[in-house]
Structure 1
Amino acid sequence: MILPWIIGIILTAQPMASPNQLTITKDGNVVTKFNQTDYFYPYADVPIIHINKYEQFLEELDRKVGIAAENAVLDQNGNIIPEKIGRQVHRQSFTEQVYSHYFNQDLSSLELPMRTVYPTVDSELLNDIRNLRIGRYVTSFNPSNKNRTNNIKLAANAINNYVVFPGETFSFNKVVGKRTKEKGYQRAKVIVRGEYSEDIGGGICQVSSTLFNAVDNAGLEITQRFSHSRHVPYIPPGRDATVSWYGPDFEFKNNYNQPVLIRARTLGGLLITKLYSSESLHYNPKKVPNPIY
């Protein structure tokens, strides 16, 4: 997003000099070239930036030179894997220098300014919220159905170690993302308009349904849930939560004053989902129907 202070630069600027190419470096090494005519509107008396093109350029820069921050997570044995601090382009500083270059054509290169990016979940926070179990639910599946089992494992891994902060709304579709072949999802049985069919990602509704019951057990606020158009065998009637990338989602809000940690894994033919939080949390658990085995 182009910040409001840029407007001030535009309004007070003098007519721009003849555009040329700017060499972008990091640690003295050439990263890319910045052709000013590609990112500023032509025939303007003042430098007016083409926002969409410019932001795409910044995104590409970050992909080349940035280092993504990584949250602290728990391994399968419950041990903390520490967080990793990231780095990304300091966009405000970079943009200021790009504008300055318009009025000082003696400059031919620009050293990328970088900024530190901290993860949202560090080891200290994770250690505080991993001990008190506030919700749990277990469902069973047939591990001999390889495609469906694969999809369940992928979706469970996607939500595992996710931390929902106070006031935040968790969206299953946003967290898991689009289910595609490129991500490893395979064709398996799904329910479409009350009929069985096959599609990429079949089986992940068991993950969203198991999560729903664990969330409900923890007393969290359910904000969006839809049932299948027919009964599914792995969950008691009316206790499912169907999801589809272009359709229904499962969402809940963390209405507590402490972060909530989601732990999800498969063990043999069981899908186990647990929710944890700080031992200082005062929560209101809810009794939910027993699972079907």
Structure 2
Amino acid sequence: MKTIILSFVFASMTLVNSDGDAVDELDRKDFKLSYLDEAFINDAKLEVEMDVLEEKVRKDPTNAKLNDAGEIIPEKPGQRLDRYKFRQLFQEYFYTGKKLTTELPVEKVYPRVDSELIAEIREQKIGDYVTYFKPSNKERSHNIDLAAEAINNHVVFPGESFSFNNVVGKRTEKKGYKRAPVIVKGELSEDIGGGICQVSSTLYNAVDLEGIQITERYSHSRRVPYVPPGRDATVSWYGPDFEFKNNYKRPLLIRAFAKDGKMHVSIYSSDAL
């Protein structure tokens, strides 16, 4: 990742990266409150500028997770603009106009899930469910695999709620989802993301445990073949969602895989629930 440098040269403040390419340029007069005799910083404009810089330097952290072999892939910290330090640098530039070149201040952003936590909560399997699908239906199988990947390694902390729609996100062609059979008002049709209700239904049956509160679940308008009657959980981006709340005192780890016609969800936690 390129380092961004701040270059303060009297009336202008130029932001360049480590290659010397200009990223942005600030003019002192643009941040001055003109109706005052004495120069004061227009704080609203400075906040907007910091938002712009934040977009350019922000790097989201990556949670630790398990690979297919069950090995821990360590977390990676991210970064964001250090607004406090940047404000100090800008004030020095604004009020003195002295020439100053310095690295744009950033601070680390740490992930919620680190290797230590993953190692602790993968110890005990507390829920497990398997459903089956036809691998020959390539589009539907592809959608199931994408949705399973989206919820795999997701950690639900104590007192936290899980929303299938929020975690998986909107199902679009841009994200790789394909048209496949869906049930709409009791009738079979085709739509982008068809098949993912098998993932939400498998998850529902895996988390239907004493310490987990199902807060939102809807059945399809007609029976589906992959779970017993009344054991499904239909989802739609503009409609039903599947949600549950972790009432245990320990985090929960979701492991989800779709392979060779098998949709498998397991729920893990630490020994001390």
- TM-score, normalised to structure 2, is 0.85
Quote the Cα distance in structure 2 between the aligned partners of 1:29 and 1:129.
46
Question: Given that residues 23 and 30 in structure 1 are in contact (C-alpha distance below 8 angstroms), is that contact kept between their aligned partners in structure 2?
Answer: no
Q: Per-residue deviation at 1:144?
A: 0.6
Q: Which residue of 2 aligns with 1:23?
A: 14
Q: Residue 259 of structure 1: which of 239, 251, 258 is its match?
A: 251
Q: 1:103 to 1:37 in 2, by over 3 A?
A: closer
Q: 1:238 to 1:27 in 2, by over 3 A?
A: same
1:1-293 to 2 correspondences below 5 Å: 21-25=12-16, 29-30=20-21, 32-36=23-27, 45=36, 46=40, 47-50=42-45, 53-54=48-49, 56-63=51-58, 66=59, 68-107=60-99, 111-217=103-209, 219-281=211-273
Quote the Cα distance in structure 2 between the aligned partners of 1:104 and 1:118.
35
Q: 1:245 to 1:100 in 2, by over 3 A?
A: farther
Task: Indicate the percent of aligned positions where both proteins have the same amino acid.
Answer: 53
List runs of 5+ in structure 1 lacking aligned partners: 1-18, 282-293
- Deviations 1:169-194, CA, capped at 9 Å, x for gaps: 11111111111111111111112222
Quote the Cα distance in structure 2 between the aligned partners of 1:38 and 1:71.
43
Q: Per-residue deviation at 1:48?
A: 3.5
One-letter identity of the residue aligned with 2:137: N
Quote the Cα distance in structure 2 between the aligned partners of 1:27 and 1:84.
23
RMSD: 2.6
Quote the Cα distance in structure 2 between the aligned partners of 1:105 and 1:246.
53
Q: Per-residue deviation at 1:117?
A: 1.9
- Deviations 1:123-170, CA, capped at 9 Å, x for gaps: 111111102011111111111100010000000001001111111111
Question: Given that residues 39 and 54 in structure 1 are in contact (C-alpha distance below 8 angstroms), is that contact kept between their aligned partners in structure 2?
Answer: no
Q: Per-residue deviation at 1:31?
A: 5.7
One-letter identity of the residue aligned with 1:166: P
Q: Per-residue deviation at 1:77?
A: 1.4
Q: Per-residue deviation at 1:245?
A: 1.5
Range moving further from structure 2, 147-156 or 217-226: 217-226
- How many residue pairs end up in the alignment? 260
Q: 1:126 to 1:81 in 2, by over 3 A?
A: same
Q: Per-residue deviation at 1:195?
A: 2.2
- Deviations 1:65-96, CA, capped at 9 Å, x for gaps: x4x32211111111111222223321332234
Range moving further from structure 2, 176-185 or 271-280: 176-185
One-letter identity of the residue aligned with 1:98: F
- TM-score, normalised to structure 1, is 0.79
List runs of 5+ in structure 2 lacking aligned partners: 1-9
Q: 1:37 to 1:236 in 2, by over 3 A?
A: farther
Compare the two structures and name the one with the higher strand fraction: 2
Quote the Cα distance in structure 1 between the aligned partners of 2:210 and 2:87.
46
One-letter identity of the residue aligned with 1:24: L
